[in-house]
Copies of this chain bind each other. A is one copy, B any other.
Amino acid sequence: MARPARTASVSLRNPERTRERILSAALKEFAANGFAGARVDAIAQRAAVNKRMLYHYFGNKEHLFREVLRLKMTERQAWAESLSGDPAESLTFWFDAACRDPDWVRLLEWEALQEANRRLIDEKNRRAATNRGLERIRQRQARGQVSAEFDPRHVMLAMRSLTMFPAAFPQLTRLIMGRPISDPTFQKERTAFLKKFAAAFQPSPARSPAKNDPAK
């Protein structure tokens, strides 16, 4: 039961490391090829681990997929909590996050495409996190920083749309913008646009394209 005390820096047998390697290899493979397209052999190879180990630790391909998703999910949730409800901040933050980590967006896309009628992977948890996010928006509305004429749910949906779309549809974005989403120029331009556009969520009276926040 006692921990191995780590004889040499790395012992030959190392369950945790193996598990980690499988998970990170699986993340890449699933993000790249989706569930159906992902190859268990490829994951094993990427992880430099015998394929059998994958079944040893995760049972089967689907369990592994769910675990990968669940993991990324909780990682993101932590980020979300640390965020104020300010539209300009949220928009730029999440847009940036989507550009930095397209794998995340891609996983959500694969999830969306995967016959959506059944129950979600980590539903309970995600629902709770969503509700906390909605609550933050309501608070902003109460403080007059977000227009109260919009349903918070619709505000959140609009924000998600604006931030995730480019990473979710890079081909359409390139068609429209003439640049790949990885291009820093695009990212800067888009961030600037989102900052201005965030004014759309502010209450009508205090209206005038962002520029600054008089309530400071």
Contacts and interface: CB of A to CB of B under 8 A. Distances in A.
Report the copy number of this chain in the oligomer.
Answer: 2
A165 B154 contact: no
Given A108-B169, A154-B189, A204-B209, 13 more contacts: A34-B36, A37-B37, A108-B171, A109-B168, A123-B175, A127-B175, A130-B176, A151-B193, A153-B177, A153-B178, A154-B197, A157-B190, A164-B169
Nearest to A126: B175
Interface string A170-181: 111101111000
A208 interface: yes
A139 interface: no
Contact of A150 (B111, B120, B196): B196
Main secondary structure on chain A at its contact with chain B? helix
Interface string A62-82: 000000000000000000000
Interface residues of A, number: 55
Interface string A131-168: 00010000000000000011101101110111011101
Contacts of A165: 157, 160-161, 164-165
